[in-house]
Amino acid sequence: MRKRRLNLANWQEEYKRKLVSLEEAAGVIKSGDNVFLPNYYRGIMPRAIVARREELRNVTVEVCAPFQDPGWLSPGMEDSFSIIVRIYLEAARIGHDEGRIAFLPYTNGTWFKPYRDHRIGVRDIDVFIMEVSPPDENGFCTFGQVVWDKPNYARRARIVIAEIDDRQIRPRGDTAIHVSEIDYLVPT
């Protein structure tokens, strides 16, 4: 888990410096990385990652309930992407039945327990990709309507990529991340 320091004073400068294109953010992912996508993720980064399939090998992607296939669930992607699905909907069912997609069952009460307990065999979180709201006047972006695993993954990830989605709501409580805690910001 990498320690990030809040930069409350000059967050606007940091925000501008961290803004990158979709392709630049996808370029951060390297062969062998473990990439995590949170519950209810509907962003656009996966398509840019799949566009790099010829140069990527053995990228493990853990995704919860994929609503659609950006391309990595399709046959022929196994050399580039190893997909782990926590809840599989129709988009992943065929690949799972064919043995191309792994299924990792979990319950909401135990999904992050292996990471909290520092158990042997837990995979590093190399890249965490999520959607957030635009920053508020203090530089805080909210996790939107589905917070569940986002704060925990963001705290433990080596690299955090956030897609800025102005349709994300601003819930109250511990539902925000500061711009200084995000490595790459992608306007969508």
Query: For the purposes of burial, counting CB atoms within 10 Å of the CB of 64, is it exposed (0-12), middle (13-18) or buried (19 or more)?
Result: buried
pTM of the full structure: 0.90
- The confidence score (pLDDT) of residue 53 equals 97
Could you tell me the two tokens for 91?
């988009």
**73-110 pLDDT, tens digit each:** 899 999 999 998 887 777 788 888 888 888 887 766 67
Average pLDDT of the segment spanning 45-58: 97
Q: Which two tokens stand for residue 116?
A: 């909290």
Query: 43-62 as b/e, with b when 16 or more CB fall inside 10 Å?
Result: bebbebbbeebeebeebbbb
Q: Which domains, and CATH codes, for the chain?
A: 11-187 (3.40.1080.10)
pLDDT at 72 over 70: yes
Q: Rounded to whole angstroms, how far apart are CA atoms 2 and 13?
A: 22
Distance separating alpha carbons of residues 150 and 13, to the nearest angstrom: 24
| pLDDT score for 9 | 75
